[in-house]
Amino acid sequence: MRVRKINSHLIHRATTVKLLIIQIGNNVATAKKGLLIVEKWGQGEMEQILHMDSDIPSVYFPIGKPSDGGTCEFATRKCIEYCPSGQTINEHERYALNYFQKHNQDEIFLKILSDYNQLSSISYNAKMIQWFTWGDCPTQLIRKVAIVMLLLRNKKIPQYGFTRNKMLWEIIPRSDILNIGLSIDNLKIAKQVSIDSGKMTAHPDFNSGYAEMIFDGKIITRCNGWWCIVQRTEEIRNSDCSLCLIEKTGCYS
């Protein structure tokens, strides 16, 4: 679930191109070599399931209803209406979905683990995985996605994310390094479901652009991807999922 996000892996790529241009200067031969590096890097990126959402290795699936080629099987009208994706599907998202559809859970796990090891080795990248920055888990992939999440948890890799697939959400247990929030548009229902389940729910505030993370019937934090508001202290700080993991707050409460 995202109330506000952009395809940050494209920004990451543009930044890399800019840095290469700065580095290669006016030397034509070096420039051609630099552009070749960018091209090869882009091709390698296409072969990844994980892509960067700011500094977080993330799973992007195609947005939209299944009838339109998307994975938002359980999306509400408001969810579709306010989705910040621009209602477009790119090749990275198609690649990730296709990989899940055509490979078994062990192959998917090893592929994501490989992507994660590569991306998390960069010092400024977060050491965690975010699920469904775009898109969601369709019914046909519940078993695979659940098994992969649990295999990654066994590797002690922190994970968080949001889904409207209640069956997937019910399967995944709450733990200190794995929390998947069930997105519910009605705040009262979201609070009650969190009480009944003892797990995280998420309420998208479409007007403010914030998502509210709820545990045990209480809003713990409000986050829009840029800013995070700690509800208990009303502290407003930069959205930093690594800090939430350390402090055991937000999605890692």
Q: Which residue has the tokens 């003892």?
A: 198
pLDDT at 150: 98
Does the residue 194 lie in any domain? no
Query: pTM, whole model, 2 decimals?
Result: 0.80
User: Could you give the 3-state DSSP secondary structure of residue 62?
Assistant: coil
Count structural domains, the chain.
Answer: 1
Does the residue 34 lie in any domain? no
Tens of pLDDT, residue by residue over 39-59, are: 444 444 568 999 998 889 999
Tens of pLDDT, residue by residue over 195-222, are: 999 999 999 999 888 999 999 999 999 9
Residue whose C-alpha is closest to residue 179's, from 113, 249, 252: 252
pLDDT at 245: 83
Does the residue 222 lie in any domain? no
Note down the domain range covering 152. 8-28+52-186
pLDDT at 179: 92
The mean per-residue pLDDT over the stretch 117-136 comes to 93
